[in-house]
Structure 1
Amino acid sequence: MASRSAVPLSITADRFVDEVTAGAYAVDIRGQQTRDTDGIVVGALAIEPADVLDRLTPGSGHALAAAAPATRWILVSDDGHDAEWLAWHLQARGLTGVRFVVGGQRALRRSAMPDHVRRVLATVAEH
Structure 2
Amino acid sequence: MAVSAERPVGIDELLERVRSGLDRVEAEEAYDAARAGEALLVDIRYAALRDRDGLIPGALVVERNELEWRLDPQGSHRAPEAIGHDLRVVVICNEGYASSLAAASLRQLGLRRATDLVGGFQAWRAAGLPVTP
Which one-letter code corresponds to 1:38 in the other structure? D
TM-score relative to the length of structure 2: 0.76
Partner of 1:36: 51
Any idea what the Cα deviations from partners look like across 1:15-73, whole Å, max 9, x if unmatched? 12111022211111111111001111222111111001110011112111221111111
Cα distance in 2 for partners of 1:44, 1:106 equals 15
**1:9 equivalent in structure 2:** 23
Q: What amino acid does structure 1 have at the position aligned with 2:115? A: R
- Structure 1's unaligned 5+ residue stretches are 1-5, 123-127
Equivalent residue number for residue 93 of structure 1: 109
Q: Secondary structure at the match of 2:58?
A: coil
Structure 2: which amino acid aligns with 1:55? R
Give the equivalent residue in structure 2 for 1:58: 73
Q: Is the 8 A contact 1:7 1:96 kept in 2?
A: no
* Partner residue, 1:3: none
Structure 2: gaps of 5 or more residues: 1-19
Worse-superposed segment, 40-49 or 100-109: 40-49
4+ runs deviating over 6 angstroms: none
Shift of 1:14: 2.1
Note if 1:72 corresponds to 2:85.
Answer: no
Change (3 A) 1:81 1:7: closer
Distance across 2 between alignment mates of 1:71 and 1:22: 14
TM superposition shift of 1:7: 6.3
Structure showing the higher helix proportion among its residues? 1
TM-score, normalised to structure 1, is 0.79
Aligned residues: 112
Distance apart, 1:112 and its partner CA: 1.1
Deviates more, 1:62-71 or 1:81-90: 62-71
Greater Rg by CA: 2
1:16 maps to amino acid: A
Q: How far is the alpha carbon of 1:9 from its aligned partner?
A: 3.4
